Structure 1
Amino acid sequence: MFDWLVVGAGFAGSVLAERLAASRGDRVLVIDKRDHIGGNAYDHADQAGVMIHRYGPHIFHTNSEAVFTHLSRFTDWRPYEHRVLAEVVSPSTGQTVQVPMPINLDTINRLYGLELTEDQLEAWFAERAEQVEQVRSSEDVVVGKVGRELYELFFRGYTRKQWALDPSELDKSVTARVPTRTNRDDRYFTDRFQAMPRDGYTAMFSRMLDHPNITIRTGMEFAEARKRFSFRRVIWTGPVDEYFGHRYGRLPYRSLRFQHETLDQEQALPTGTVNHPAESTPFTRVSEYKYLTGQVHPKTSVTYEFPSAEGDPYYPIPRPENQALYKKYEALADAERETWFVGRLATYRYYNMDQVVGQALATFERIQKVVPPMAVNDEIAAGRVAAGD
């Protein structure tokens, strides 16, 4: 008999499992249909001994001190600021070049052979920006800031590959995630806390779930757990439409296919990730893990990412009709008294890792307010504690 069944051993499920077990004394069963914990952040040594991320690079960054402090209970950190280059054709020379992404001062100067200053670049962007009466789509966001040429060069092809939709068909939130800078800051993220778990994500999850009140079963589906175990309440972190048997139809997601390669050389890329926006290139980006991990090894491993319509659900597709469909499932989820829906898939939102952790911690606080600790309930039922105590 368990107090909670947590479906999914990624960030949402693991954070909640630890809080329920350690802070409340509840008995928690964590299951995952994959053969490992850690969700999409799962990392491991490949055959050559190089640490890789099975589901593509996961770079931790957050502005939330509370989130960073909470995760610091389970890991030490390696400071790391991610940098990305985009491989594009220079409009001025016709040559293929690799320039900083997000677009910054160096990006423009290298592409066009200019020597602009920060103040001049602001005006340069303004001259090329298109008038957009109402910003609705991802295309509107970019052309309204930097104009059509840079939009075509950096965003249109990449977005069409990633989402199988033109940016004009996607919600403005997609490209709004990538800023445009007028200075020379070439960091991909500017968050206050930027670091990687020193021993890897899997080690962090292992410590998080290492509690006598937590039982872990990997390679197990929800249906099997319901047959084999008794539990009082559920934390659901999978696709919300799956929980309800796709009652209103399937929510659309995009997936990825990963091609991992180990190379007989110490370094392969000039930085952690190189984006390939051109539609003629089938993959969107390639990443090298030794930048992220700091591992010293005579060989190196890289991962190519190929967007796909098939496979595990990774990215909720932000379109109005999809959000309308989700609202139907959200109403069903809100009516569930004994199940809590947490995470990117369960709430159909394009969350970063730190946002999922924050959502899980906030969910725990709500649980604290409405669900008495199970251990207390058991003692009340056994007559050892008066109900008023």
Structure 2
Amino acid sequence: MNDFDFLIVGSGLFGAVFAHECHKAGKKVLVIDRRQHSGGNVYCEHVNGINVHKYGAHIFHTNDKPIWDYVNSFVGFNNYVNSPLAVYKDELYNLPFNMNTFHQLWKVRTPQEARAKITEQVAALQINDPQNLEEQALSLVGTDIYEKLIKGYTEKQWGRKASELPAFIIKRLPLRFTYNNNYFNDRYQGIPVGGYNQLTDRLLEGIEVRLGIDFFSAREALTALAKTVVFTGQLDEFYNYRFGMLQYRSLRFEHEQLEIDNYQGNAVVNYTEREVPFTRIIEHKHFEFGQQPSTVITREYPEEWKKGLEPYYPINDDINGKIYKQYKELADQETNVIFGGRLAEYRYYDMHQVVASALHTVRLHLK
């Protein structure tokens, strides 16, 4: 006899939404997580009244009104709009690439002047069949934008020269010919008032959550507790890496408390030159318009993933695609295991997509 209807491995957004919907439907649910806190990568640590995004900046954005209404039913969201800046040497640029950026680069003032400048640079390069990311980017935006705002940042992010990366990584580069620094085009965006823990804690309200529990350290005993396992961890680890390890890029975070009220005047500032080892600095208080007397910043260093590090970005190239397909074929044959989330599906998800996927999956199974 099983103690629970569902054992949910992982308390991130997918697991928390799945657990909430099951609990609401009267099912008995147990959530476990190997970390000492719930909430997965959206977890915030409270430091001097500031909600620190412990695993990198998370900004909720979507055009999907039902998903926006769903998350807002647990916690109110503020009106934070993501408008990052980019630093290249001693120069400062607005992102995404828009008329402010083009004026900062070339002192142009009209969309016609900006288009002409980009067209002129692209034409001079004569790249008709891009063979790598560098050529692909140059053929889309020309030399200046590529050299100052793309090349160094991309090489740090991927740990490889842009000329060694496949062209498909950059299918397009959005160029915005308006003076608009809003990074996302989505209609709805913001940060939960009081931080993301407010959202995940309310999703998991009334549900048994056991922290510091590694599913793989007591797999048989844990599986026996429930009729169905919902697994949100790494798919290759679930099958003991039998077809090899799927590859990821990882991140290292360097958090620093400063006894000043404002370090950089913006939540997100990217550092695009190759010589600066980190890709960006996050100043967390600005996500919630904080007025605290001190501040917390985080430098973000991309690094090669290896076992024991946190997997962040799947490397969705042909080699990994073939390995994932083998694991997916095994997963599809499972009768009492449900796989979901970015690690189990080996794909990059924005938060609204994780919530949508969890709702779709749980409703399908509760039927």
Please show how residues 67-146 of structure 1 align to structure 2 within 5 Å: 67-89=67-89, 96-112=90-106, 114-129=107-122, 133=128, 138-146=133-141
Aligned counterparts of 1:8 and 1:302: Cα–Cα separation in 2: 27
Please show how residues 274-293 of structure 1 align to structure 2 within 5 Å: 274-293=269-288
Change (3 A) 1:236 1:135: farther
Please show how residues 214-293 of structure 1 align to structure 2 within 5 Å: 214-223=207-216, 224=218, 226-228=220-222, 230-293=225-288
Q: Is the 8 A contact 1:163 1:317 kept in 2?
A: no
Aligned length: 358
The answer to whether residue 13 in structure 2 is matched with residue 18 in structure 1 is no
Instruction: After superposition, give the CA deviation of every residue in 1:30-61 in whole Å (9 maximum; x if it has no partner).
Output: 11100111111100212x33221111211111
The answer to whether residue 195 in structure 2 is matched with residue 200 in structure 1 is yes
Instruction: After superposition, give the CA deviation of every residue in 1:12-41 in whole Å (9 maximum; x if it has no partner).
Output: 11111111111x211111111001111111
Change (3 A) 1:283 1:316: same
Aligned counterparts of 1:290 and 1:191: Cα–Cα separation in 2: 23
Question: Corresponding residue for 1:328?
Answer: 326
**TM-score normalised by length of structure 2:** 0.92
The answer to whether residue 155 in structure 2 is matched with residue 157 in structure 1 is no
Please show how residues 48-67 of structure 1 align to structure 2 within 5 Å: 48-67=48-67
Q: Secondary structure at the match of 2:293?
A: coil
Aligned counterparts of 2:270 and 2:110: Cα–Cα separation in 1: 25
Q: Is the 8 A contact 2:262 2:294 kept in 1?
A: yes
Output the amino acid matched with 2:18. L
Instruction: After superposition, give the CA deviation of every residue in 1:53-102 in whole Å (9 maximum; x if it has no partner).
Output: 1112111111111211111121111111011111114xxxxxx2111122
Aligned counterparts of 2:361 and 2:166: Cα–Cα separation in 1: 27
Cα RMSD (Å) of the superposition? 1.9
Change (3 A) 1:70 1:163: same
Question: Corresponding residue for 1:384?
Answer: none
Q: Is the 8 A contact 1:138 1:176 kept in 2?
A: no
Change (3 A) 1:368 1:138: farther
Bigger mean CA deviation after superposition, 282-291 or 173-182:
173-182
Query: How far apart are 1:105 and its partner, in Å?
Result: 1.3
Instruction: After superposition, give the CA deviation of every residue in 1:322-363 in whole Å (9 maximum; x if it has no partner).
Output: 112111111111111211111111111111111111111111
Question: Corresponding residue for 2:302?
Answer: 307
Instruction: After superposition, give the CA deviation of every residue in 1:162-217 in whole Å (9 maximum; x if it has no partner).
Output: 11133444455644586221211111212110111012101111111103xx2101
Aligned counterparts of 1:81 and 1:322: Cα–Cα separation in 2: 35
Q: Which consecutive unaligned segments of at least 5 residues does structure 1 have?
A: 90-95, 370-389
Instruction: After superposition, give the CA deviation of every residue in 1:227-252 in whole Å (9 maximum; x if it has no partner).
Output: 25611111111111011100101000
Output the amino acid matched with 2:304. A
Q: Is the 8 A contact 1:86 1:100 kept in 2?
A: yes
Aligned counterparts of 1:192 and 1:137: Cα–Cα separation in 2: 34
Query: How far apart are 1:294 and its partner, in Å?
Result: 2.0
Aligned counterparts of 1:313 and 1:136: Cα–Cα separation in 2: 28
Query: How far apart are 1:116 and its partner, in Å?
Result: 2.9
Q: Percent of pairs identical after alignment? A: 37
Aligned counterparts of 2:82 and 2:19: Cα–Cα separation in 1: 30
Question: Corresponding residue for 1:386?
Answer: none
Query: How far apart are 1:271 and its partner, in Å?
Result: 1.5
Structure whose alpha-carbon radius of gyration is higher: 1
**TM-score normalised by length of structure 1:** 0.87
Please show how residues 164-175 of structure 1 align to structure 2 within 5 Å: 164-170=159-165, 174-175=169-170
Question: Corresponding residue for 1:41?
Answer: 42
Change (3 A) 1:21 1:225: farther
Output the amino acid matched with 1:234. V
